Structure 1
């Protein structure tokens, strides 16, 4: 019986149904509260744009909702685990199941299976819904909630470093050699970082190397004079690879799209550790929902009347939140090149899988 993780079909359905209902309830509560708080801060910015009204507020809410649901689904699974197991323990149902011969792993098996189903649903939801919402909301926020440009590749407020100098543009549109900057400002700086000349232009096109300005004017700080310039090529150190790297938003691309972006950047000699870590995390991230029942399992065991139930619940919650802290820290280290991308994405998952199993075996098995 110890090798049969689902000895009772009725008990499996009972636990899985109870767990699923609590996940939905906790997720709905978290998302609605956080969405309301987010709207309190963003409504003023949205309505500040002429022509925006209730429709734009609902549009923002519809785009923000998938993001919040995706981000806080693992937290909801963790809290649902603690609520479910603490309730079962409080009502002596865990004791009844153990008296019937079930091990701790057999009690947790329906919850782990439900967590796996949630992980699969979360992965599909992220790929089909969240990436599109991220892309649309990022473009909308880039223009300060005004009219979104027709070209989805358009980015607002971009800047690039060319040694000491800085190239800024109000927007960047087009792809590859057809990239065009509009509203260009170029700052030439000396060895001390002081601006010696400011160049403004209506637009700039890639000149291989550098960027050719149209309708440019230059202001000399030393002479305090402005001079019109017919043709000028600037920022020869700013390559198309830098522009494309800035264009890639891993949260707004699906796995196949991100794979193509990584391959394109690698072919141009660009560093892609951050994007590769995000690629792997698109798989390991949703799987955290399957890990939460194991980390929160400590709340479901031990005698409820011993007074340690609350302490166990707090310990399970702390263990689950510790996973998210370590996961974010590892992902940040992977982005800076401190960890290999594969290790940054998967090490926290397997580390806390072993920690959860160790705690469960040492305390209950």
Structure 2
């Protein structure tokens, strides 16, 4: 039985490597071609390859679950085409026995992938920001165009961050009754040990006092903290997601936007288990080759519906419409329930 477990796991891992390589390469090429105008002048082929390599961890995060599902479906399609599923039936390997055989490999692959995303994606994201600027990576329409901060009696708007320099800083000073007393605009700001040095400053006052444009903005914010606040939550490390979810008064994203992606990354092994429960009973086919092809297409369609529903719930959670826990747990529970239902109907191979 151990030989069968290793055999099934080897087929799955082989297809996972092939699927991930094919999907990330294709998406990487399309992404590099579509964003070629964002690269510096004269970047050429080397610049495009650098962009592709730095984007690959983020693209891998986007395709991981679908790649896991396709790999499971293709693994069983391989068994069917080799006429190896019938010997498994003769050996008495039930649906749940097959799930049990593949479960360690699926959990290991998803856990290692989650660790890779958590450790590598933020590093690649920061490298892209330092190279091209923070605004270039706003490929998600849900990411705010500007960053808003609450700083004592001021509201601060930051348009962008290039290297360690802020571009487009606006300070809104509030009076005693909360009304805006003055608006200070600076074209840019460079970091100081205890704040930021404002450059090209102008001020408009609404309290009757003469304008006194400040030359510095005293703030605990650093270039690194601003990069985190301006980044899409999905591209941050688990530690940063947790810290930002606990912060108040900083950033344009609600705490739920960070919590939903924190829980999403932690739930990857459970989602992968749900995909395994779905794929194995779907691919129990012993007839003609067309049957396996139809089952593969049906499994991919169910996976696509799951991804869409999962994305909708996460969008709602990012806006605070539903809780982050519900947005992550409900799709996974629905997937596991569907998989268990199908597995119980095909409890033994026929």
Q: Same fold (TM over 0.5)?
A: yes
**TM-score interval (norm. to shorter):** 0.7 to 0.9
Structure 2 distance, partners of 1:297, 1:58, is 38
Structure 1 distance, partners of 2:102, 2:79, is 13
1:66-81 equivalent positions in 2, closer than 5 A:
66-81=57-72
SS of 2:320's partner is: coil
Are residues 1:231 and 2:213 paired?
A: yes
Change (3 A) 1:22 1:157: closer
Out of 97, 100, 111, the residue aligned to residue 120 of structure 1 is 111
Q: Which residue of 2 aligns with 1:36?
A: 29
Structure 1 distance, partners of 2:330, 2:163, is 38
User: Alignment length, in residue pairs?
Assistant: 315
Q: Which residue of 2 aligns with 1:148?
A: none
1:265-276 equivalent positions in 2, closer than 5 A:
265=248, 271-276=254-259
Change (3 A) 1:92 1:159: closer
Out of 291, 294, 298, the residue aligned to residue 274 of structure 2 is 291
Structure 2 distance, partners of 1:38, 1:182, is 27
Structure 1 distance, partners of 2:114, 2:337, is 23
Is the 1:158–1:171 Cα contact (8 Å) retained in structure 2?
no
Are residues 1:158 and 2:127 paired?
A: no
Change (3 A) 1:167 1:261: closer
Is the 1:142–1:157 Cα contact (8 Å) retained in structure 2?
no
Structure 2 distance, partners of 1:306, 1:9, is 28
Q: Which residue of 2 aligns with 1:347?
A: 330
Tell me the alpha carbon deviations over residues 175-199 of structure 1, each in whole angstroms, 9 at most, x when there is no partner: xxxxx95444689xxxxxxxxxx97
Structure 2 distance, partners of 1:171, 1:109, is 49
Q: Which residue of 2 aligns with 1:192?
A: none
SS of 2:50's partner is: helix
Q: Which residue of 2 aligns with 1:84?
A: 75
* Structure 1 residue 265, shift from structure 2 partner: 2.4
Is the 1:277–1:344 Cα contact (8 Å) retained in structure 2?
yes
Q: Which residue of 1 aligns with 2:317?
A: 334
* Structure 1 residue 172, shift from structure 2 partner: 8.5
Is the 2:158–2:169 Cα contact (8 Å) retained in structure 1?
yes
SS of 1:308's partner is: helix
Is the 1:67–1:130 Cα contact (8 Å) retained in structure 2?
yes
* Structure 1 residue 200, shift from structure 2 partner: 5.1
Change (3 A) 1:181 1:10: closer
SS of 1:304's partner is: coil
1:10-21 equivalent positions in 2, closer than 5 A:
10-21=3-14
TM-score normalised by L of structure 1: 0.71
Q: Which stretches in structure 1 are left out of the alignment for 5+ residues?
A: 1-7, 146-155, 175-179, 188-197, 206-210, 220-227, 234-239
SS of 2:117's partner is: helix
Q: Which residue of 1 aligns with 2:245?
A: 262
CA RMSD of aligned residues (A): 4.1
Answer with 1 or 2: which has the greater Rg.
1
1:1-365 equivalent positions in 2, closer than 5 A:
8-46=1-39, 49-50=40-41, 52-142=43-133, 158=146, 160=148, 167=157, 169-171=159-161, 182-184=167-169, 201-202=186-187, 215-217=200-202, 230-231=212-213, 246-247=229-230, 249-265=232-248, 271-285=254-268, 287-305=270-288, 307-365=290-348
Is the 1:157–1:171 Cα contact (8 Å) retained in structure 2?
no
